[in-house]
Amino acid sequence: MTNTLPSQKHLFSLPEGIHYLNCATRGPLSRSVEQAGHDTLTRQANPFGLRPDDFFNGAIHVRELFSQLINNPDPDRIAVIPAVSYGMGVVARNLPLKPGFQKGKRIVLIGDEFPSDVYAWGRVCDELGLTTTIVDVPDGFPKGQVWNERLLEAIGPDTTVVVVPPVHWMYGIRFDLEAIGQRARDVGAWLVIDGTQAIGALPFDLEAVQPDAVICAGYKWLMGPYSLGLAYYGPAFDEGIPLEESWMNRLDSNQFHRLMDYQPAYRPKAYRYNVGEHSHFLQMPMLETSLGQLIDWQPARIQDYTQQLMTDAWPALEKLGCTIEPENGSQGRSHHLVGLWLPAQADPMTVQQSLLASNVSVSARARVLRIAPHLYNTSDDVEALVNVLKTVLA
């Protein structure tokens, strides 16, 4: 049982009268993250006294914090990446090195997945003779349990990679990662997780799931700056090939007086997969601050807060003809990201524009409104959302 958090709105700079229920698009920066950005910008105006280790230390602290957030016992398995596409590119680049890899194998994906989790495999399939199996979202409701069952059924002896998120980026439906991880291990497939729409707001236990890779953008539920993310790469990638050959990723790269003594050996584990110039002097302190704040808040308490915040809204919206996935543990809906299926006659983009006209921000994705609350939201935001939808959908 977790201790309930009160609203954390006072820690953010969101203006009064703005109802931002859209963290799944981009998380607002807290005041402390803002301040970290201002402070580091001031420091960078004068680089005098910058030491070689300063190029590395910020990322070391961020790896430790992210590892704590996902229950990863080895921070050396965390790489700094610029985007999910980069992290998926690392997996695609190294797939031919996977033991037992051969033509005719399948990559299993879920339907309506985010493009970066799909595009990574097109070239691989063409060049290496692979195919993809898409497990589409089921018709009817509830969807979660059936979707999970069909995904498990799709993973077979000819599967080489399974790509799945903890929570679907449009619908907010959860996937049972522990069961999927066990099935992937049973058939010798890699399990690759895009944690962007969950990690930071939903508890994630790496040791329980045992994935081969976890890739996460930093600007959504990690509440950090844009174009900076993190990825976990397990033992399967320890001798792999990086996407780029950064000098910082080699042994003794902090010995600046010896950089001309070219070093063929990489630093251990995931270090070889760091993006070039991964110091990110301006952004890394901001991500460090946001991760520390999330660890203090605890993802389980964020789930509890958002569940309680929206508990009266869902029945009211269902009376208007909307549909949501029910709660069903690890196979039902999440609470921080919920897909609201609109009535058949409603146009999602028109509804979204009506909401924006009343300063309510959510996302329209296909036939759903994606509603993504956080600790900075209050009952006033929920009331504004419901009132506009009552008018628009009447």
Helix (H, G, I), strand (E, B) or coil at 210: coil
Model confidence pLDDT, tens digit, residues 29-51: 999 999 999 999 999 999 999 99
Q: pLDDT band at 394, cuts 50/70/90?
A: confident
What is the CATH classification number for the domain harbouring 328?
A: 3.90.1150.10
The answer to whether residues 147 and 281 belong to one domain is yes
Q: In what order do the strands lie in the sheet with 363-365?
A: 338-341, 368-371, 363-365
| Strand duo 159-164 + 106-110: pairing | parallel
- Please give the Cα distance from 173 to 162 (Å, whole number): 17
Model confidence pLDDT, tens digit, residues 355-367: 999 999 999 999 9
Q: Cβ-count burial of 73 within 10 angstroms (0-12 exposed, 13-18 middle, 19+ buried)?
A: exposed
- Worst-scoring range by mean pLDDT, 2-11, 141-150, 155-164? 2-11
Sign of torsion over alpha carbons 178, 184, 185, 190: negative
What is the reported pTM? 0.97
Domain-located, residue 1 = no
Domain-located, residue 113 = yes
Domain-located, residue 144 = yes
What is the CATH classification number for the domain harbouring 257?
A: 3.40.640.10
Model confidence pLDDT, tens digit, residues 154-180: 999 999 999 999 999 999 999 999 999
Which of 232, 260, 293 finishes a domain?
293
- pLDDT for residue 3: 78
Which tokens hold the place of 8? 């954390």
- Please give the Cα distance from 162 to 117 (Å, whole number): 11
What range defines the domain where residue 254 resides? 39-293
Percent share of the chain, pLDDT over 70: 99
Distances from the Cα of 4 to the Cα of 12, 28, 300, 304, angstroms = 19, 22, 10, 7
- pLDDT for residue 2: 59
State yes or no: pLDDT of 1 exceeds 60: no
- Please give the Cα distance from 324 to 116 (Å, whole number): 26
The answer to whether residues 249 and 322 belong to one domain is no
The answer to whether residues 184 and 304 belong to one domain is no
Domain-located, residue 159 = yes
Give the mean model confidence (pLDDT) for residues 266-283.
96
The answer to whether residues 259 and 362 belong to one domain is no
Model confidence pLDDT, tens digit, residues 91-112: 999 999 999 899 999 999 999 9
CB count within 10 Å of CB 188 equals 12
The answer to whether residues 161 and 256 belong to one domain is yes
The answer to whether residues 241 and 385 belong to one domain is no
The answer to whether residues 283 and 176 belong to one domain is yes
Q: Cβ-count burial of 197 within 10 angstroms (0-12 exposed, 13-18 middle, 19+ buried)?
A: buried
The answer to whether residues 333 and 215 belong to one domain is no
The answer to whether residues 75 and 117 belong to one domain is yes
Query: b or e along 117-154 (b: 16 or more beta carbons within 10 Å of the residue's beta carbon)?
Result: bbebbeebeeebebeeeebebbeeebbbbebbeebbeb
Mean pLDDT rounded to a whole number for the chain: 96
Helix (H, G, I), strand (E, B) or coil at 97: helix
Are the C-beta atoms of 275 and 246 separated by less than 8 Å?
yes
- pLDDT for residue 4: 85
State yes or no: pLDDT of 202 exceeds 60: yes
- Please give the Cα distance from 233 to 75 (Å, whole number): 10
Which of 250, 278, 293 finishes a domain?
293
Q: pLDDT band at 313, cuts 50/70/90?
A: very high
Are the C-beta atoms of 291 and 62 separated by less than 8 Å?
yes
Spell out the long-range contacts of 242-245 with Cβ–Cβ below 8 A and sequence spacing 24 or more. Answer: 242/90, 242/93, 242/266, 242/272, 242/273, 243/86, 243/89, 243/90, 243/93, 243/273, 244/275, 244/276
Are the C-beta atoms of 180 and 152 separated by less than 8 Å?
yes
Which of 244, 273, 293 finishes a domain?
293
Give the mean model confidence (pLDDT) for residues 127-141.
96
State yes or no: pLDDT of 215 exceeds 60: yes
DSSP 343: P
Domain-located, residue 3 = no
Domain-located, residue 253 = yes
- Please give the Cα distance from 59 to 283 (Å, whole number): 10
Domain-located, residue 258 = yes
The answer to whether residues 23 and 58 belong to one domain is no
How many domains are there within the chain? 2
Domain-located, residue 91 = yes
Which tokens hold the place of 322? 């909307």
State yes or no: pLDDT of 236 exceeds 60: yes
Helix (H, G, I), strand (E, B) or coil at 123: helix
The answer to whether residues 284 and 302 belong to one domain is no
The answer to whether residues 213 and 71 belong to one domain is yes
